[in-house]
Structure 1
Amino acid sequence: MEPIDTIETQGIRIPRLGFGTFRMPGADCQPVVESALALGYRHIDTATMYENEDAVGAALASANLERENLHITTKAWHDSLQPDALRRSLDTSLQRLRLEYVDLFMVHWPSRDMNLPAVLETMQALKEEGRTRAIGVCNFTMPMLKTALDEVRAPLACVQVEYHPFLSQARLLDYLRPKQIPLVAYAPLAQGRAASDPVLTRIGEKHQATAAQIALAWLLDQDGVIAIPKAKRTESQQSNLGALKVRLDDEDRRAIAALPKDQRYVSPPFAPKWDD
């Protein structure tokens, strides 16, 4: 297996290719995560809402890997952003994961009535208490990020958003890069759509790779971007790792740049009004 590069941010090192566990609820998630860990994944992304922290915790325990070699992310749901509720959320997650700390604790989605400075202050306190090594946010709009970073000056380790070859995050990357804050791309395969895209398929044939590998290689080709694909089957987990070997050229980059960049596939009813 190709080595997985890491990005250092706010005192932690995040492997640039991680393993997502969305839509893998319950005990069925345990063997899936065990498989990923056996293949060499060391960055596991979960959340309270995924209803699989118990299974992830069991997989981590059975893998018996050195804790310092793992990066574990979990997230608080948007109904738990009051200070006391945030604390309870992390406490519950740690119990389920069988961990003394997580590496990254994130706000999963913003809520319309959240007190953002109070949210970030509580998360910083949890970091100072050693229950999480770093903090971050997901699905924040640019105005929310500017409040968090420019006004509150929260030490955000990363920002997680939907990002794939059919959705531009150029404006967000232009804002985050000078601050040296990485972007974590969820749904990096556009919920499976990348696998059948003809442009990605054609580029894949050139590199003896799959279209999905090209989508991941495109993300990993970019400075400051981390990708967390999910894959239930061991073969798919292995295939995603194969993206690490792909080296795109300028012709490939131009072809992918020409794909539509306005396809957002994750926009639940409680999502903020996107400003892109």
Structure 2
Amino acid sequence: MEPETADTVAPESCPTTDGMPMLGLGTWQNEDPEQCAESVRTALETGYRHIDTAQIYENEAAVGEGIAAADVDRDDIFLATKIWISNLESEDVLETARESLDRLGVEYVDLLYVHWPARTYDPEDTLEAFSELYDEGLIKNVGVSNFEPEQLEEAIETCDVPILANQVELHPMLPQEELQETCEQHDVELVAYSPLARGQVFDQPVMQEIAAKHDASEAQVSLAWLREKGITAIPKATSEAHIRDNWASLALELDEEDVDAIDSIEERSRKVDPDFAPWN
């Protein structure tokens, strides 16, 4: 699956929402340390300023190496990681968050997520620890991930610190309309993981038609569709070609007809569906 090149040149910078760049590099399953560090460095030197990782990815050290190797100032990078579901009791949050910072080689992260509302997650206990990390300056923002509307609203009511973002699977086959509405009502940013549906967007006739119309790739179309909706995307990419192809999506402007056509896709597909997910 070779990436195509958009007809236009991508801008040098990326639009932001609440200080968070709307296109980031996801690192899930980027487990080879050398490859992970190189993809992070390549992305940053391409223009990306948003890097996303997690404790469970077991690549925080490699992500940190990539950040250190890139010719980009740390303060210009929006760095996010996530606390795993076995570490969500307050003392574990405080301890393992510091361990994550050590592995990343940084003094703070820009966004720390509750990875899932599962296992050891307790809204009051967990989010109190997140607020403590915020007050200490170890994290700049609090986020949640894989929260359904009811869990999100509970977190907003419980946490002493504003919830910046909810990171969920979101793509043309899983548009999450109800969650979009809830996030908009509460001024919470949506961050889309698996925004290409693990490659499924390449096989969608609607995406193929719009890609051909704009001389773009289906990946670029999906990322541009998300941006049109005000949603941040963090596609995983390891090769320089895919990193640059995704970055070029910033130059692609979809018209209303394109957006409506994508919105009309009826197929539904969820790629990440563990037993402990709140919708199960």
TM-score by length of 2: 0.92
Deviation at 1:262, TM superposition (A): 3.0
Structure 2 match to 1:257 = 263
Structure 2 CA distance for partners of 1:261 and 1:155, relative to 1, 3 Å: farther
Is residue 17 of structure 2 the alignment partner of residue 7 of structure 1?
yes
Structure 2 match to 1:193 = 200
Distance of 1:151 and 1:95 partners within structure 2: 28
Is residue 51 of structure 2 the alignment partner of residue 44 of structure 1?
yes
Structure 1 match to 2:249 = 243
Q: % of aligned pairs identical?
A: 39
Distance of 2:263 and 2:128 partners within structure 1: 39
Aligned pairs for 1:17-166 (under 5 A) are 17-27=23-33, 28-152=35-159, 154-166=161-173
SS at structure 2 position matched to 1:75: strand
Distance of 1:269 and 1:148 partners within structure 2: 21
Structure 1 match to 2:187 = 180
User: Aligned-residue CA RMSD in angstroms?
Assistant: 1.4
Deviation at 1:251, TM superposition (A): 1.6
Consecutive unaligned residues in structure 1, runs of 5 or more: none
Distance of 1:41 and 1:6 partners within structure 2: 11
Deviation at 1:67, TM superposition (A): 1.7
Distance of 1:269 and 1:66 partners within structure 2: 40
Structure 2 CA distance for partners of 1:168 and 1:125, relative to 1, 3 Å: same
Structure 2 match to 1:206 = 213
Greater relative contact order (Cα 8 A, min sep 6): structure 1 or 2? 2
Consecutive unaligned residues in structure 2, runs of 5 or more: 1-9
Distance of 1:264 and 1:90 partners within structure 2: 29
Structure 1 match to 2:238 = 232
SS at structure 1 position matched to 2:265: coil
Consecutive aligned runs of 4 or more in structure 1 exceeding 3 Å deviation: 150-154
The code of the aligned residue for 1:219 comes to L
Deviation at 1:44, TM superposition (A): 0.2
Deviation at 1:152, TM superposition (A): 4.6
